[in-house]
Amino acid sequence: MRVLAIAAVAALLAGPAGAADIVAPSRVDSVTVYPDGASVTRRLTIDLPAGGSTVIVKGLPPSIDAASLRIAGEGTVAFTIGSVEVRSVPGDPRPAVDPILEDKLKGLRERRDVTAARMEATERRRAMIRRYAEATPEKLSDDAKPMDASQWPGAWNAVGEALVKVNEEVRVLAAELRGLDEEINALERARPTARQPGAPKFDVAIALEAPAAASAALSLTYRVGGAQWRPLYDARLDTAAKDKKAAIELVRRAEIVQRTGEPWTDITLAVSTVRVARGTAAPDLPTSNVAFRAPVYRRDSASGVPMDQAPRPAPAPTTAEEKRAAPPPPPPREPAQEQQAHLDAGVFQASFTVPGRVTIPADGSPKAFRISAMTAEPELTLKTVPVLDPTAYLEASFVNKEDAPLLPGQVAIHRDGIFVGRGMLKLVAPGDKVTLAFGADDRVKVTRVPVNFRNEEPGFLGSNRTSLREFKTTVKNLHPFAVKITVVDRIPVSNDSTITVETLQQTTAPTEKVVDDKRGVMSWTWDYAAGEQKEIKLAYRLKWPADRDIVEGGGPR
């Protein structure tokens, strides 16, 4: 019967005098990767003698956090874990070498040298053929006499055929050289990270006390730097037909990179949303002072990718003759299922465990795993900001129904089976709304034009100048079905009490007076029937002291 050992309290104390030293090999068994580090668990089995002994675990990476080290164990008899000592030892001064990898590199370089020699010979042959081709036909005969005109076509054909053949040889050899270069570069990147002579590593000495000889298993868990994961997303929107509802699938992946200096081979892997390096307490808030400063103007930008239409399948045969003549349908094929991690959501964190055992390269090469997926019925809206770009862009909004937050990351955007571009996802907590953009929609026509622009100088006794601005935005839905469209526009704002901005009564009342807490930014969201056109008017008046000039920032007017 196996008995759990007493839990250890890590302390930088030496083991008992006279205890036998046991150097025990260990291996990385499981890893939990955080966005800014990793928690590693090593396991080892040992035969303990009766009495006191010290187990030495060698070669832990230099980025280990000694304060995070924890020891646990079990054995055939109850034993006691005493002191735990972390020792800094000089690293191996010899360069890190993988003999199998070096043999592959040597063979590839020899093949490249042979191919490069063949390439040089072929290029020289091509140069000679071109030199003959540049000569006049009468100089191409063997006896150096003028060639009869009837022989010219044969000479041309011979030169042309030779050039075609040698050019194809050059193309094949160039492709072979590129392939060899790529293989060589990949293997050079996979070389173990070069060690600095004497670079320190850590050994761990664990003092144990057993009443009798026993077989024991120990585990060491510690935090290490040099590893991270970042989220990647695939968003696939199916706008569907007009008689069906739209659907969206959001697939979350974890891209893992590690340069810890230790092998992660055949391990149990999990990724966690906890940011270990962020800190444990809220920051102290100092007093804030206010002072004058020069204004900073920002210019927004908008971009998008035109929407393509997915090809429609050809109609099936309908007549009896066509059905009899048609070949039998192929047997049904089942789509491949992508492996997905298991979510373990707690109150303050979430982790995803990848099924099976995996290997993460130690050279920093990224490796990605699918960790979750959600489907939702989104709300579709077309959004346009005509003051910057007279284009409507499709947006899909839905609620994050997962128990884990969606961390910031890049999103690959697909609409109706077509890849339309890449976007960025902000941090979205469970239960919050997700909004993603899915490219431009050319079936919504948007125009914004100025209809009134008038400056008024002060009168004889006046002290203020005024300026009237009025714009008209026209939006037309060219879809054969109804859509919801949001138009975003703005008026200038002033932080100076001597400059006033007055919204005029001809302005169309906005449905949202302040967008995203931005002063002066407003929006109009309406449903547009098929073929329907609507107008939005925006008018305002500026007033400021006559002896001053104003400058409007933040983009075009």
Overall pTM > 0.95: no
Q: How far is CA 388 from CA 302, 446, 490, 503, 554, in A?
A: 7, 12, 11, 21, 10
Average pLDDT, the chain: 79
At residue 339 the predicted structure's pLDDT band, cuts being 50, 70 and 90, is low
Judged by phi (left if over 0) then psi (alpha if -120 to 50, else beta), residue 109 lies in alpha
Report the share of the chain in percent with pLDDT over 70: 74
Between the ranges 344-353, 358-367, 427-436, where is the mean pLDDT highest? 427-436
Q: Which stretch of 83-97, 142-156, 321-335 has the lowest confidence by average pLDDT?
A: 321-335
Longest dimension (CA), the chain: 109
Q: Which stretch of 91-95, 219-223, 358-362, 365-369 has the lowest confidence by average pLDDT?
A: 91-95
- 391 and 304 in contact (C-beta within 8 Å)? yes
* 482-514 residue pLDDT tens: 999 999 999 998 888 888 889 999 999 999 999
b or e along 148-174 (b: 16 or more beta carbons within 10 Å of the residue's beta carbon)? eeeeeeebeeebeebeeebeebbeebe
- 46 and 80 in contact (C-beta within 8 Å)? no
Instruction: Give the count of alpha carbons within 13 A of 387, CB side only.
Output: 20
* 196-227 residue pLDDT tens: 555 577 888 989 988 999 899 999 999 998 89
Helix (H/G/I), strand (E/B), else coil: 115: helix
Helix (H/G/I), strand (E/B), else coil: 343: strand
- 473 and 489 in contact (C-beta within 8 Å)? yes
pLDDT of res. 163: 82
pLDDT at residue 330 above 80?
no
Find the distance separating the first CA and the last CA of the chain, reported in whole Å: 81
CA 304 vs. chain centroid, Å, equals 19
